[in-house]
């Protein structure tokens, strides 16, 4: 999602040429890669994440307080807006704890939830529960349940302080990015992956790109540039320039979070690589979708935050209603490129282009209609 959840040395790149021995090549790698891409081009359809239940009856008098990592981040603002809208449809109290990325503000939110006898504290949009271990322990001792929204990858177990987790298919996005780069380079990618290992789900996200490239193309070259979120503005451009100057044969760059792209594009311009080196990324951030329309980014994997908000509320309600935790938020990943970018709006926004199948789907799932 949107949101969030977002160089150990800028001039040094850990070049990781794909290992030929360990991973067998796909039987028809080009066909496999194209199939992955086509799967994510179709207009999203709703797939129920669990059994229907009477949400209104179950959630009567319940109270949920959600603490996003920061309400200064547009991704979190949009995600919270959607979660609040879903809660209003069901008819229970939902409160967003406004904050500006400060630990003491997160702690205050937890204290407020305890003192005002909320039923759930939700950590949303990238807020790591490990940062708040003692406070969450106090909340659970007071009878509150703890959830996370849009933080963990589907492959990652939540920490013990979390009851239910609305996980995201970051690894699926990674597989799609690898397939895209493989197809667009006609099976000969020399890829620079830009990640941020200080963001927990980034680790399996990057790994999924690396693994899929090895499967599709054991002989192809891939490099990994690791830049902490706090250093994006100062280290991504210089690190990308160093990589391109060190290896002019790089033909594709995959920044795992699309907001990184704003720092990659200047590096392409400075090194004279515009046109010969393409970009693809993940998140569906509006200004990056505009960059797709303008030709600066070739492809961006989008996820509807309106859909993600409803899916997150669904999982939180299942926790309170005694239903099984969902395996992942059922938010589809959609390819935006030159062929369909106009559907994202002009200028682009977080929700256009995905349709509205989730609205009717969740209403029926919650027995509201």
Question: Would residue 39 count as lying in a domain?
Answer: no
Per cent of the chain over pLDDT 70 is 93
pLDDT for residue 15 is more than 50: no
User: Residue range 5-34: average pLDDT?
Assistant: 53
pLDDT for residue 10 is more than 90: no
Question: Would residue 29 count as lying in a domain?
Answer: no
User: Residue range 284-307: average pLDDT?
Assistant: 97
Distance between CA 204 and CA 15 in Å, rounded? 18
Question: Would residue 35 count as lying in a domain?
Answer: no
Question: Would residue 137 count as lying in a domain?
Answer: yes
pLDDT digits (tens, 9 = 90+) for 25-48: 558 999 999 999 999 999 999 999
Give the CATH number, domain containing residue 223.
Answer: 3.40.50.2300
Distance between CA 360 and CA 369 in Å, rounded? 9
Do 320 and 272 belong to one domain? no
Domain count of the fold of the chain: 2
Mean pLDDT of the residues in the chain: 93
pLDDT for residue 121 is more than 60: yes
List all residues 6 or more positions away from 215 whose beta carbon is below 8 Å from its beta carbon.
23, 24, 25, 26, 29
User: Domain range for residue 103?
Assistant: 55-168+304-331+355-366
pLDDT category at 280 given cuts 50, 70, 90 is: very high
Instruction: Write down the pLDDT at residue 34.
Output: 98
Question: Would residue 22 count as lying in a domain?
Answer: no
pLDDT category at 289 given cuts 50, 70, 90 is: very high
pLDDT digits (tens, 9 = 90+) for 332-350: 999 999 999 999 999 999 9
Question: Would residue 337 count as lying in a domain?
Answer: no
Do 241 and 279 belong to one domain? yes
pTM of the complete model? 0.90
């Amino acid at each position: 999602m949107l949101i969030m959840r977002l160089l150990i040395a800028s001039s040094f790149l850990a070049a990781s040429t794909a290992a030929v021995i360990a991973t067998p090549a796909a039987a028809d790698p080009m066909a496999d890669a194209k199939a992955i891409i086509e799967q994510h081009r179709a207009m999203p359809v709703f797939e129920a994440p669990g059994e229907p239940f009477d949400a209104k009856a179950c959630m009567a008098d319940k109270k949920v307080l959600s603490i996003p990592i920061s309400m200064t981040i547009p991704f979190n603002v949009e995600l919270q807006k959607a979660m609040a809208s879903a809660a209003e449809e069901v008819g229970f109290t939902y409160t967003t704890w406004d904050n500006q990325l400060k630990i003491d503000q997160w702690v205050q939110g937890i204290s407020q939830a305890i003192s005002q006898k909320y039923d759930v504290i939700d950590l949303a949009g990238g807020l790591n529960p490990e940062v708040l271990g003692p406070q969450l322990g106090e909340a659970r001792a007071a009878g509150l349940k703890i959830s996370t929204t849009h933080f963990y990858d589907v492959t990652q177990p939540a920490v013990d302080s979390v009851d239910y987790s609305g996980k995201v298919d970051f690894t699926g996005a990674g597989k799609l990015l690898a397939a895209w780069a493989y197809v667009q380079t006609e099976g000969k990618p020399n890829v620079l992956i830009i990640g941020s290992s200080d963001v927990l789900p980034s680790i399996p996200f990057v790994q999924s790109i690396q693994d899929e490239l090895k499967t599709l193309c054991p002989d192809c070259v891939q490099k990994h540039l690791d830049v902490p979120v706090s250093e994006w503005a100062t280290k991504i451009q210089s690190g990308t320039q160093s990589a391109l100057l060190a290896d002019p044969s790089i033909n594709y760059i995959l920044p795992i979070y699309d907001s990184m792209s704003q720092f990659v594009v200047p590096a392409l311009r400075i090194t004279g690589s515009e046109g010969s080196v393409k970009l693809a990324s993940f998140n569906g951030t509006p200004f990056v979708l505009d960059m797709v329309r303008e030709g600066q980014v070739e492809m961006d994997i989008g996820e509807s935050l309106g859909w993600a908000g409803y899916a997150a509320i669904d999982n939180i309600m299942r926790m309170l209603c005694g239903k099984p935790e969902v395996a992942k938020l059922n938010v589809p990943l959609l390819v935006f490129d030159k062929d369909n970018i106009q559907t994202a709006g002009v200028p682009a926004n977080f929700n256009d282009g995905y349709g509205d199948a989730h609205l009717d789907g969740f209403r029926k799932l919650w027995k509201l209609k």
